[in-house]
Amino acid sequence: MSHPNDQDMVNYARDELGRYKKFRIIEHCKECPECAERLIEAAREHGPEPEPFRLSKWNKISIVVMLVALLAVAFGMYWLLSSVGESTSRDLFDTPVPEGMPAPEVSPEEAPQEGGRPQDADEQRLG
Ligand SMILES: [Zn+2]
């Protein structure tokens, strides 16, 4: 059995081989540790982008998204606080409320009487 050449290894690593050729290389590597090593080497050098790069790319994106979200939250809080401060100060300056507002006094005449004093009526009837 002939060893697959380096180009075949590279093509395998790049996933550019047909199913049959890949199968043949795999079958060969099962019986030929030397070529298995070569295949691993080829995959290491010519394989598709390794995972860490993709992960870091996605990490960057997620970090950016998180930063944007944090900034949005920070701006939202700042806007909320500043708008609340403006409204309270504006209320204080535009419509000053006197501190000792006159409480509604209940005069004794207007105080509700309870029951209309039935005892007096009984005394008058009796006496
Ligand atoms: Zn071999």
Sequence ranges of the domains in the chain: 6-46, 52-94
How far does residue 16's CA lie from ligand 1's centre (Å)? 20
CA dist 91 → 98, 100, 103 (Å): 13, 18, 22
How far does residue 49's CA lie from ligand 1's centre (Å)? 26
pLDDT digits (tens, 9 = 90+) for 5-48: 999 999 998 889 999 999 999 999 999 999 999 999 998 888 76
How far does residue 48's CA lie from ligand 1's centre (Å)? 23
Tell me which residue of 10, 16, 19, 15 sits closest to 44, measured CA to CA: 10
For the chain, the C-alpha Rg in angstroms (whole number) is 45
At residue 4's C-alpha, the angle toward residues 19 and 18, to 5°, is: 15
How far does residue 14's CA lie from ligand 1's centre (Å)? 19
Contacts of 3 (CB under 8 A, 6+ apart): 28, 32, 34, 35
The average pLDDT across 83-96 equals: 63
- The confidence score (pLDDT) of residue 69 equals 94
Report which DSSP code applies to 17.
S
pTM for the whole structure: 0.39
Could you tell me what percent of the chain has a pLDDT over 70? 58
pLDDT digits (tens, 9 = 90+) for 48-63: 665 555 557 777 888 8
How far does residue 29's CA lie from ligand 1's centre (Å)? 6
How far does residue 36's CA lie from ligand 1's centre (Å)? 7
Distance CA 53, CA 30 (A): 30
The yes-or-no verdict on residue 73 having pLDDT over 90 is yes
How far does residue 34's CA lie from ligand 1's centre (Å)? 6
